[in-house]
């Protein structure tokens, strides 16, 4: 249609139009940017003026000051989002690799405020109290708080660094006060009691009826029916017990982690290889040049059992049995006395004769008398057997030149020698059959045969490099996440336990559990397999049984009933 000159002219005009369009677009964007900048400056000036007015008002009005404080603390921050908001992580696990210890305090403050607001909404509901708007609503409250606390206490119990211990000391009285204020809220308890009093007319199923019973009983036992000075005293007792409980635990952990007995190569003579490996590994972990004995049960118990050096056994045994009573800042004896006195006072405030009556009311035994009767049935035959064993072991010790009755540090050593002499039972020879990896596999195999569960190890963020994680499935469907934290370390409290980062529930919201088994087995050198004693293996299976209960129970978050399968 066009000749060559026409095409060149058209192309030139098109290029010119494109340039003019680009220039116009750039000028328009510049105008928008200037307007946006002007608006931001205007907004900033408005915020400064408003902030100044709020601060001026806060200085003159305590109520306004409290409101401003809440507004500031509720401003969204990245650390708050990481700590308890919706986590974009596998299985909705806490992002331990992204949460720092300094993230917990502000997250806890916001979570506490949210929980308080949820409780206030229940109290202010003008509808007649019923199961849904009172009991179920209470159960549904505190989700943000549960997230913060489950993540924090998972690390604080199993990896208690100095910073985490500091946070525990700060959190304990704050949490005690928060929950004491809830249980002592007369308007809230009036709603709970109203539902309880009409329980026979509500047509509740078995689980709802049980939940109502537990909630009402929990409030009564927490002192909800108290008033005036007695109610205030109950709150003070709870806060003080929380402080004392934290101090007691941390003092015990410090005694366990600080005490160490270095061993020479001569001190290792007569010890089995697995114990030598464990002592060397403990020394390496503590930065020592050689093997050591610590107060970790997985190390000190086999040392008392196998060491032929009586003076070393005595030193170790006396240290182990004196934890919390070394004197100084970590001595727990005064704390224990105060705890006992406060427990007695709390029991009396609630109308019990003593703390044992209060404590056992909800347990299977029911009363102190039932417990005492059971213990006395065991005491006499157990005492007779122990005295007979003492005679045998004392005779064995006499052959080694020990004069007089055996001492506490002798019992394990000579009991082991007796087992080998009378039954040819040598724990050192049995240990290779109890490798940790094999015991974990055996526990999983039992769960598969009994309940059809399958375990697949997964790589996810954890709170410590030693922690391992498995996804649990049945017939291909997700059931739970199982976390195993098996090795002892100086920042982990002693013992073994099962806990949940997230509990199993179908009501008030459906959620799959994240269950944790924590043990304190001796960690071997990297090139060696971890070997368990028979008692260790039994502990592993015991805690795994608790884990299965938590995985396979379905109900409310705080009420677990086993499934039929």
Catalytic residues, by residue number, are 543
Question: At residue 93, what are phi and psi to the nearest 5 degrees?
Answer: -80, 155
The Cα–Cα gap between 441 and 537 comes to 12
Report angle CA 267, 273, 278 to the nearest 5 degrees.
Answer: 80
3-state DSSP percent of the chain in helix, strand and coil, to 5: 65, 10, 25
**Distances 53 to 39, 75, 197, 234 between C-alpha atoms, Å:** 21, 19, 50, 41
| Helix, strand, or coil (residue 379) | helix
Cα–Cα distance, 565 to 549 (Å, whole number)? 12
φ, ψ of residue 294 to 5 degrees: the values are: -115, 180
Contact 158, 464 (CB under 8 A): yes
Q: How many Cβ atoms from other residues are within 10 Å of residue 486's Cβ? A: 22
For the chain, state the CA radius of gyration. 32
Contact 245, 165 (CB under 8 A): no
| Whether the Cβ atoms of residue 256 and residue 249 lie closer than 8 Å to each other | no
> What are the φ and ψ backbone dihedral angles of 39, each rounded to 5 degrees?
-65, -40
Across 367-490, the runs of DSSP E, i.e. the strands, are 453-458, 468-474, 477-487
Count CA atoms closer than 13 A to 260's CA, side-chain side: 19
At which residue do the structure tokens 């980062």 appear? 501
The terminus-to-terminus CA distance of the chain in angstroms comes to 84
CA atoms within 13 A on the CB side of 245: 14
CB 497 within 8 A of CB 543: yes
């Amino acid at each position: 249609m066009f000749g060559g000159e026409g095409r060149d002219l058209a192309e030139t005009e098109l290029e010119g139009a494109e340039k003019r369009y680009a220039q116009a677009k750039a000028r328009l964007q510049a105008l928008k940017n200037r307007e946006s900048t002007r608006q931001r400056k205007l907004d900033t000036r408005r915020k400064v003026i408003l902030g100044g007015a709020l601060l001026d008002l806060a200085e003159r009005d305590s109520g306004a000051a409290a409101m401003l404080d809440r507004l500031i603390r509720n401003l969204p921050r990245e650390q708050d989002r990481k700590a308890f908001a919706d986590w974009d992580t596998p299985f909705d696990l806490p992002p331990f690799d992204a949460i720092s210890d300094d993230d917990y305090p502000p997250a806890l403050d916001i979570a506490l405020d949210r929980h308080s607001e949820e409780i206030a909404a229940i109290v202010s509901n003008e509808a007649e109290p019923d199961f849904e708007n009172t009991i179920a609503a209470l159960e549904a409250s505190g989700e943000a708080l549960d997230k913060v606390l489950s993540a924090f206490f998972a690390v604080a119990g199993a990896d208690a660094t100095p910073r985490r211990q500091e946070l525990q000391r700060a959190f304990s009285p704050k949490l005690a006060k928060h929950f004491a204020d809830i249980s002592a809220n007369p308007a809230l308890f009036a709603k709970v009691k109203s539902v309880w009093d009409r329980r026979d007319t509500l047509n509740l199923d078995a689980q709802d009826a049980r939940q109502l019973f537990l909630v009402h009983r929990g409030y009564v036992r927490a002192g909800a029916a108290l008033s005036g000075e007695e109610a205030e005293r109950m709150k003070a007792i709870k806060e003080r017990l929380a402080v004392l409980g934290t101090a007691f635990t941390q003092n015990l952990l410090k005694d366990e982690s600080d005490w160490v007995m270095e061993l020479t190569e001569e001190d290792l003579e007569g010890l089995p290889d697995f114990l030598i490996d464990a002592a060397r590994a403990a020394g390496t972990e503590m930065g020592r040049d050689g093997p050591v004995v610590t107060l970790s049960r997985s190390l000190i118990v086999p040392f008392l059992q196998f060491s032929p050096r009586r003076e070393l056994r005595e030193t170790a045994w006396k240290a182990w049995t004196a934890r919390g009573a070394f004197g100084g800042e970590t001595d727990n004896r005064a704390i224990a006395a105060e705890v006992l006195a406060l427990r007695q006072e709390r029991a009396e405030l609630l109308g019990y004769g003593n703390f044992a009556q209060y404590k056992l009311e909800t347990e299977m035994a029911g009363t102190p008398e039932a417990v005492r009767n059971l213990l006395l049935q065991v005491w006499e035959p157990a005492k007779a057997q122990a005295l007979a064993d003492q005679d045998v072991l004392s005779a064995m010790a006499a052959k080694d030149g020990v004069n007089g009755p055996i001492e506490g540090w002798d019992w394990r050593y000579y009991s082991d020698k007796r087992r080998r002499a009378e039954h040819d039972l040598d724990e050192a020879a049995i240990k290779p059959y109890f490798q940790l990896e094999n015991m974990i596999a055996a526990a999983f195999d039992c769960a598969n045969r009994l309940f059809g569960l399958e375990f697949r190890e997964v790589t996810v963020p954890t709170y410590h490099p030693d922690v391992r994680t498995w996804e649990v499935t049945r017939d291909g469907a997700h059931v739970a996440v199982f976390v195993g934290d098996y090795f002892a370390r100086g920042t982990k409290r002693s013992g073994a336990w099962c806990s949940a980062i997230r509990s199993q529930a179908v009501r008030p919201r459906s959620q799959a559990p994240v269950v944790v088994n924590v043990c304190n087995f001796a960690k071997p050198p990297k090139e060696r397999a971890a070997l368990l004693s028979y008692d260790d293996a039994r502990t592993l299976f015991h805690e795994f049984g608790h884990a299965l209960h938590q995985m396979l129970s379905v109900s409310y978050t705080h009420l677990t009933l086993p499934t039929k399968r």
